[in-house]
Structures are given as C-alpha cells and as structure tokens.
C-alpha cells in the first residue's frame, strides 16, 4: 500500500521501509552459450576497450572515456560514468570482458557480458561484484550501451548523478537534482540518531534512482515488487557474500511525498539496518530487526501513541490480542495489515526497553545479530522468558488508546 504523507500517517509509513537480504536471487550467474558470432565479436578488442575505459575512470579522464562511445548517447553516458566515479570516490574499479551472449547488432556490433567491481572508498569494506550486459560496436572498439533488460544496473552506470559527501555520509541522486541536499541532511541526521543508541563507526551510502523503474533496475526486482516501498536497505550487488556493500535505496516516488518528520523516520529506520549490518543477520527474528529499527527511528519523535500505534490498536480492538510475537511471514510486503505488524514489532522493543532499559534492548539486538539465540538473549539481558515477554507485550497492546476501556 502507498503511505500517505504527513505525521497523521506516520504509523502507516513504517510499512514503506524494507530490508532486503541477499537481493532477489542468490544464484550464481551462468553465461549463456555463445552463438556463432566469431565474424562479428572480437573478444580481444572488447577487452582492450574495457581496459581503456577502466583507465579513463581511474584517471578521471572524461574525454578519453567519451572517445570510446559509439554514438552521442554512449559518449554522454561514459562521460557521466567517469564523473560519477570521481564524485562518489569509487575505488577498486575493474571491468573485465567475460563472453559474448550470442546477440549481434548489425555487421559489427554484439552484446557481451562484463564483470564489474567497485566500492565507495572509505565506507564500503569490500567491493561489489556483478556481471552486466554491455553492447559493443565497431567489432569491440567502441561501447554502444551499458545494461540490459532483466539485469542489475548500478546507479553510477546509469547516467549523470548529483553527489554530495559529508564525512562518512554519501548521497547519490540520479539527474541534476537540488534535492540532494535534503537527502543528505536526512542521512546525516539518521547517522546521528543511530549512533546515539548504537555506538560504532562506519558510514552510510544513500542511492536515489530517478523513479521506480530505476529502483527496479538498481535492485534487479520484478516490476511492481517495491512500488509502494519508500526505502530499501540492500546489498548493491544482490549477493550474500560476506562484506558485500550494503546501501540504502530510496523510492523517490514514495519518499518525496512524505513530510519532513515522516521522511526522517524512514531514513533513520533504514540507517539502522545499514549501520548495524542487519542484512547479514538472516537468522534474527524480524520482530527484533524491524522493531529495533523503528525504536531508534521513533525514539526522538514526539508523537502520541494514537499516531505511532494506531493501526495495531485498531487491529486489537477488532480482532483481539495476538497470541504470539510477529512471525517472519507477517512482514511480507504483500501481506495485509503490514502497518500494524511494524507497529507491533516496535512495541515489542518498546516493552523490552521500558522493562530492562534501553541498554538491555541494544545488548539483546547486538547478541542476536551476531548469531545469538533471541530467547537466551532476552532472558540474559531482560530477565524474561519468551512467554513473559509475550505477556508483557500483550498487556502493552491492551493498554493502547482505543483499546483500553
């Protein structure tokens, strides 16, 4: 569902944040068998062209990159790629020809598969690694296009970006958009809010594609999968490899409709996921992962429970108290009453913090994210069994405005 803008719908907007672990597919890429294109494809020429482009990016030489373009559009794209890499501070950029795909373009062009690595220097701990389609021309001496249908396309390879960096926070926005300053301010505030609760280091990268289609290409998702999601935290290369860079991606069509408070809540929620490496914690219960992110995001927001817990209150009023803590399947983006599920998870964490203190909640979160058993962690740091936590949470729900009395 699409969250409405404004603080009155703050509870609803929490359904617009998503945590994507491992991207949409964990299958290794298998190159299709090449067709008989030897009379067109020249692997050596393509490899040399990619080496020249890699050198141009390394040297921040836009004209040299432009010379590799097959036409005006390709020249503009390659010039933008060089500028993007410099503005983002990319390191470990490699471009390696893998194979032709069997698709030819006229007498001298063909599509090939290219392996790419990159990382945001000083923030990403390791390099992202993907394979993407590249269209070659002039028997491999020129590049006609980058990317293709059904393939992940990193934002820095899509065209001009507006990039701002402030310390350990980087924001990249597709196009020449003055809104980058607003995104940067929200991202910096988000890091401050997270570090006030969870001390640590590490930076934050926020990527803002031009539209929902751009978000789909950046994440290689099915059409419509995240159309109603305001922000997503995901590995930039869609892999489960240890240390794979994790960035926050904004869905501009949804995020930009939020008011200032709501947008900050979404940004901080996602920053919690990114800065605590929640994507890697695949065994952690989502009531803790999502509930803790909301706990941090709403910690300094002065709004009544009627706003922040209105949907779960209505659900309890109509259907009674839930019998168990929110289950993983309850967080499916297509599930009904998703807003109520996020509010319920938030209140589990609020209940723990009210009982044992915020530090205990943080310790529970840290233990579970590092692989600990959540039942053991709750008992150790809060002194409750799972049944006692569930009962206390149910009491909290029963006392919500609109439910009690």
Predicted confidence (pLDDT) per residue in 301-356, tens digit: 999 999 999 999 999 999 999 999 999 999 987 777 889 999 999 999 999 999 99
Q: What is the CATH number of domain 43-151?
A: 3.10.450.50
Q: What is the pLDDT of residue 18?
A: 59
End-to-end CA distance of the chain: 31
Mean pLDDT of the chain: 89
Containing 327, the helix (H) or strand (E) segment is none
Which numeric CATH code is attached to 16-23+160-277?
Answer: 3.40.30
Higher pLDDT, 67 or 28: 67
- Model confidence band, residue 66 (pLDDT cutoffs 50, 70, 90): very high
**What is the rounded distance in angstroms from the CA atom of residue 394 to the CA atom of residue 388?**
10
pLDDT value at 4 more than 70? no
Helix (H) or strand (E) run with residue 47 in it: helix 43-58
Mean per-residue pLDDT for 242-266? Answer: 94
pLDDT interval class at 38 (50, 70, 90): low
Tell me, what's the pLDDT at 229?
Answer: 87
Q: What is the pLDDT of residue 7?
A: 39
pLDDT at 15 over 50: no
Q: Where in the chain is the domain with CATH 3.10.450.50?
A: 43-151
Q: Whole-angstrom Cα distance, residue 46 to residue 44? A: 5
Contact 250, 34 (CB under 8 A): no
Mean pLDDT of 195-213: 95
Out of 50-54, 170-174, 205-209, 225-229, which region has the weakest mean confidence (pLDDT)? 225-229
Give the pLDDT mean for 85-99.
97
Q: Where in the chain do CATH 3.40.30 domains reside?
A: 16-23+160-277
114, pLDDT greater than 90: yes
For residue 195, pLDDT beyond 70: yes
Least confident interval from 42-46, 88-92, 282-286 = 282-286
How long, in residues, is the chain?
A: 405
Residue 51 has pLDDT above 70, yes or no: yes
Q: What is the C-alpha to C-alpha distance for residues 87 and 387, in angstroms, rounded to an integer? A: 52
pLDDT of residue 36: 44
Strands 246-250 and 231-235: antiparallel
The 10 Å Cβ neighbour count of residue 238 is: 21
């Amino acid at each position: 569902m699409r969250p409405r803008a404004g603080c009155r719908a703050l509870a609803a907007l929490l359904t617009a944040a998503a945590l994507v672990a491992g991207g949409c597919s964990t299958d290794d890429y298998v190159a299709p068998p090449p067709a008989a294109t030897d009379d067109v494809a020249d692997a050596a020429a393509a490899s040399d062209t990619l080496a020249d482009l890699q050198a141009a990016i390394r040297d921040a030489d836009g004209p040299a990159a432009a010379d590799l373009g097959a036409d005006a559009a390709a020249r503009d794209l390659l010039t933008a790629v060089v500028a993007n890499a410099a503005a983002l501070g990319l390191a470990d950029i490699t471009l390696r020809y893998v194979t032709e795909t069997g698709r030819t373009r006229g007498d001298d062009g063909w599509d090939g598969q290219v392996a790419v690595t990159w990382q945001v220097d000083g923030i990403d701990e390791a390099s992202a690694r993907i394979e993407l389609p590249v269209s070659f021309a002039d028997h491999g001496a020129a590049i006609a296009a980058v990317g293709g249908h059904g393939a992940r396309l990193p934002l820095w390879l899509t065209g001009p970006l507006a990039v701002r960096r402030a310390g350990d926070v980087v924001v990249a926005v597709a196009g020449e958009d003055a809104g980058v300053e607003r995104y940067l301010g929200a991202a910096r505030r988000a890091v401050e809010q997270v570090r006030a609760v969870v001390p640590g280091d590490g930076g934050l990268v926020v990527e803002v594609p031009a539209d929902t289609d751009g978000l789909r290409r950046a994440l290689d998702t099915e059409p419509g999968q995240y159309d109603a999601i305001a922000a997503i935290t995901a590995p930039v290369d869609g892999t489960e490899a240890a240390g794979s860079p994790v960035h926050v991606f904004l869905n501009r069509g949804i995020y930009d409709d939020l008011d200032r408070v709501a947008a900050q809540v979404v940004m901080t929620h996602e920053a919690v996921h990114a800065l605590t490496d929640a994507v890697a914690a695949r065994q952690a219960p989502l009531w803790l992962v999502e509930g803790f992110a909301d706990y941090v995001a709403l910690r300094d927001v002065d709004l009544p429970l009627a706003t922040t817990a209105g949907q779960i209150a209505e659900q309890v009023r109509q259907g009674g108290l839930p019998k168990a803590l929110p289950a993983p399947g309850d967080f499916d983006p297509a599930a009904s009453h998703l807003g109520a599920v996020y509010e319920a998870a938030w209140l589990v964490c609020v209940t723990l913090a009210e009982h044992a203190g915020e530090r205990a909640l943080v310790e529970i979160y840290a233990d579970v994210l590092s692989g600990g058993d959540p039942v053991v962690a709750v008992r150790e740091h809060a002194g409750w069994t799972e049944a006692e936590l569930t009962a206390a949470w149910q009491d909290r729900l029963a006392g919500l405005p609109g439910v009690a009395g």
